[in-house]
């Protein structure tokens, strides 16, 4: 029973997150040749002011 965790900056819509959850589930189920009900996917969101790339916070990009 694989579990996938996606880390992302906050700001995506509920529909975008649902689309990602479904796509990741399908990809893992097909790749591992298992039932999709065996796959768990979680999205961990971080506030943009708590995440930086190249030292620049995401909320300042």
The CA–CA distances, whole Å, from 25 to 7, 36, 41, 50, 58 equal 16, 6, 7, 28, 27
**What pLDDT does residue 49 have?**
97
Phi, then psi, of 5 in degrees rounded to 5: -120, 125
Domain enclosing residue 7, as ranges? 3-57
Looking at residue 26, its pLDDT comes to 98
Q: Is 57 a catalytic residue?
A: no
The predicted model scores a pTM of 0.89
| Active-site residue, from 2, 7, 36, 50 | 2
We report the CATH number of the domain holding residue 40 as 3.30.429.10
Structural domain count of the chain:
1
Alpha carbons 29 and 32: distance in angstroms, whole number = 5
* Predicted pLDDT at 23: 98
Per-residue pLDDT of the chain (61 residues; tens, 9 = 90+): 999 999 999 999 999 999 999 999 999 999 999 999 999 999 999 999 999 999 999 999 9
Give me the pLDDT at residue 16, please: 98
Please report, for residues 29, 32, 36, the alpha-carbon distance to residue 13 in angstroms, rounded to integers and kept in the order given.
Answer: 24, 29, 23
């Amino acid at each position: 029973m694989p579990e996938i965790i996606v880390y992302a900056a906050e700001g995506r819509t509920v529909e975008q997150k649902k689309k990602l959850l479904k796509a990741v589930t399908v990809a893992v189920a097909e790749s591992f040749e298992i039932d999709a009900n065996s796959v768990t996917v979680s999205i961990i969101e971080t506030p943009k002011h708590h995440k930086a790339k190249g030292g620049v916070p995401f909320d300042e990009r």
